[in-house]
Chains A and B, each alone.
Chain A
């Protein structure tokens, strides 16, 4: 596989809920190493698309290719294994576990110890446990959580919870980090530090897919943007191009001349 093949390629993905068509014929591709933004008005189908890519929903039609493999009905853990890690719009941490344990669970995928390892607690298992703890601690620092790892996830501040979700996703060693409205509810300072965190992550070689309402964040951060409206892709391109697109302006401000 060459570096020029896209990391993620969607081919006319459609998703129906009963009679409601949440997505229809959405095609797009995300290149390796870019930050790709997905925007659109409320109810445009952004999160639905997200859930299809991460295996939570099964696409009604179409398929997508990730890292050279085709998926139509992936299971979440299979896609996580393939290298897609995600966060959730309404934070879904393991609330009653500690911050450290949350990130350690992210390591599940890339570690091996089974029941016998746990029971015998042999050298390999002990080493693996130490490596998991070390990596999880590093990741907590990396995303800028300086509270002790023993703090329960639900006792972290809102901004920290968002970051913890990112740390947990990073622990799975993803190729694609998919973030569902990571800046929702954040104040300006928090958004700014999130922005620099995402830039650092991209510099580390991880492709980022971002759903966001904060247009300023999207425009300042993304290499390319796709706009969804009523389940269809209405525009795609670099931020300047999308900003001037008539269909996008109509979708956001309401089209007077249609």
Chain B
């Protein structure tokens, strides 16, 4: 970041920060319209997904960034949230239990959301409990296994009774409604036509803001400090009277709840869920957002989320036309190029910016003092 901008952001007065906040809010509110006009509606949809990814990345940031617990199966909580709403907000359960639910369950999204968050949090504790003594690589392997177990369960629970509809997934999930307004149709508000993707954008924006505020408040609290103490030195933390078991479980649960909320929103937005949305690659993707952006720093994690959610789409839209124009045929498939670029980006990052694109304040301060020669 240029020094002048950094100066402005970190040392600006209260008034300056307020101006920044309102400018940012205005820009975000206009974003779907601008994107729609310049790039087309598909990109507004991409922005919606970026927001879901940001929520996921912020949730994982609690586990990995604050408490220092490497979790490679985080997408499982996203899946739990998504299937919670898929089962309770669609006609699907009519197939498994025709006697009990002749039309399936159609609970309101707003009832399912807190329940799904709690269920996902419960799964977080369930995963956390057996891994309390593990750290680093060992923890990563166990969590990776957990993520896969959830996905495989979802994939195979169409027998003996059809709970998840297996690989076909669950479709016809009710759209999210706010009172009488369905977010799945264009709505006119104050004479402005708001298409469905715009409505979801604003909903997701509100949830992202909520998740950001929660993250911030946790970070600068007694709980957040205890997590960071565990990350820095677990033995010293316990000698200082921190109940490391409970606080690690709490970190897993809080992170999982964010994942669950994001998953519930995803199911309502898509209207369809299937196990393939919850592959290991997705877990790794979310972890990359956290690491690439700057572990433990909320702004960095958001930056990582935006970049990694949007870059593949840019590639998808540019690689094929570019090759067609240059060689007259498609030589490299954009999907495989994506992996190549990701791998390359990660290696470059580890070499030149190991603390992430936008490191946390502590690491930044550390770099500053190193530059100034103050030790």
Contact = CB atoms under 8 A, between A and B. Distances in A.
Nearest to A120: B217
Q: Is the interface of B mostly helix, strand, loop or mixed?
A: helix
B235 A96 contact: no
Contact of B223 (A107, A109, A118): A118
Interface string A73-94: 0011100110001101000111
A113 B221 contact: yes
Give the interface size bracket for A toward B. 35 or more
B240 A119 contact: no
Nearest to A84: B239
A109 B243 CA distance: 9
B363 interface: yes
A118 B224 contact: yes
Contact of B240 (A56, A98, A168): A168
Contacts of B228: 94, 97, 101, 105
A94 B241 contact: no
Interface residues of B, number: 32
Contacts of B244: 77
Interface string B228-265: 11001101111111111000001000100000000000
A33 interface: no
A118 B217 CA distance: 6
B362 A155 contact: no
B233 A115 contact: no
B345 interface: no
A218 to B, nearest CB: 23
Most buried by A among B214, B242, B254: B242
B242 to A, nearest CB: 5
A64 B309 CA distance: 57
A224 to B, nearest CB: 25
Contacts of A76: 235, 238-239, 241
Given A109-B241, A121-B217, A92 B235 contact: yes
B217 A97 contact: no
B78 to A, nearest CB: 21
Nearest to B219: A118
Contacts of B223: 113-115, 118
Interface in B116-165: none
Interface of B: 214, 217-218, 221-226, 228-229, 232-233, 235-244, 250, 254, 362-363, 365-366, 369, 374-375
Given A56-B239, A152-B369, 20 more contacts: A75-B238, A76-B238, A77-B239, A80-B239, A81-B241, A85-B239, A88-B236, A93-B233, A94-B228, A97-B232, A98-B362, A105-B237, A107-B222, A113-B222, A115-B223, A118-B217, A118-B222, A118-B224, A155-B374, A172-B240
14 contacts: A76-B235, A76-B241, A77-B243, A94-B233, A95-B233, A101-B228, A106-B240, A108-B229, A108-B240, A109-B242, A113-B222, A114-B223, A125-B221, A155-B375
